[in-house]
Amino acid sequence: MFTGSYVALITPMNDNGDIDYPALEKLVQFHIEQGTHGIVSVGTTGESATLPFDEHIEVVRQTLAMVDKKIPVIAGSGANSTAEAIFLSEQMAALGVDGFLSVVPYYNKPQQAGMIAHFNAIADATDVPVLLYNVPARTVADMLPETVAALAEHKNIVGLKDATGDIQRLKATQKLVKNDFLLLSGDDASSCEFLCEGGHGVISVTANVVPNAMSNMCDAALAKNFDACRQFNDSVKLLHDALFIEPNPVMPKWALYRMGLTKSAILRLPMVLPELASQKHIEQILQKYELISG
């Protein structure tokens, strides 16, 4: 369940800011063809923070239809309001999603006990498997390994996306949870090391651009071929850095636009297009990897 390379898929938009569903279908088919193991729909990279509920749910609904059960679809369902997170989860459970990705509540700065109550309430409201998502660089609040271990006792909470980039955090969590509790990297730059230390997969921004390399990296690690895992990682590590020189998802949207996979790189305000220097930097790397022409 939920192992390997899961793309944190962008939500493509037209120049007027509307969702570009033909481009979304193109991206979905691209990932199926390139061997991506699964899709995370409307997570952070999918601009969950600025999509209203109706659009959020519709993007997930259409993504499920486009995927047509070929690979799993995990829906972003997090919110800083527990009631809102439960509402989103209930609505999307009815669509038939394979799992939920639920982020630590942002802005509120909940205590560890508050996180436990929040996620248990979400998991109680659905039979769909829930992945916890810890990304303190965005949420400020940091879910500690002991909190993860307490939540892992819930039958519907099946894993963690750890975006701390801290391998010691992975090791601390591994000591506290059962072997079948899924540990997924949410930090592309450290994902190879995370996999080599026993992680089960990655929810990846880089996979938007080079899905085959990321899925091959995960396959190699899960087969315990760690040399091959590192080779695949080395082949794309420039992208790990370049895709984060501006806040995600600014750079992956620009990269996919330049690759011709979308018609626009538009984002929802307050996110805007990348600075000219950033555009040129990512384009040089895309040229180096022969993903665009010079």
Provide the 10 A C-beta neighbour count for residue 259.
14
**Is 74 among the annotated ligand-binding positions?**
no
**Is 203 among the annotated ligand-binding positions?**
yes
CA dihedral defined by 50, 55, 59, 65, rounded to 10 degrees? 170
Please confirm, yes or no, whether 133 is among the known catalytic residues: yes
Please confirm, yes or no, whether 161 is among the known catalytic residues: yes
The most distant pair of C-alpha atoms in the chain lies apart, rounded to whole Å, by: 53
Q: Which of 291, 293, 183, 267 is nearest to 10 (CA)?
A: 267
Q: Which residues pair with 75 in a beta bridge?
A: 41, 100
Select which of 21, 109, 155, 161 is catalytic. Answer: 161
- Cis-peptide, bond into residue 249, ω within 30° of zero: yes
Task: Record the tokens describing residue 23, joined without a space.
Answer: 């481009």
Select which of 21, 70, 133, 263 is catalytic. Answer: 133
DSSP string, 206-271: GGGT-HHHHHHHHHHHHTT-HHHHHHHHHTTHHHHHHTTSSSTTHHHHHHHHHTTSSS-----TT-
Q: Give the span between the Cα atoms of 292 and 294, in whole angstroms.
A: 7
Q: Which residues are annotated as catalytic? A: 133, 161
| Binding site as annotated, residues for pyruvate | 45, 203
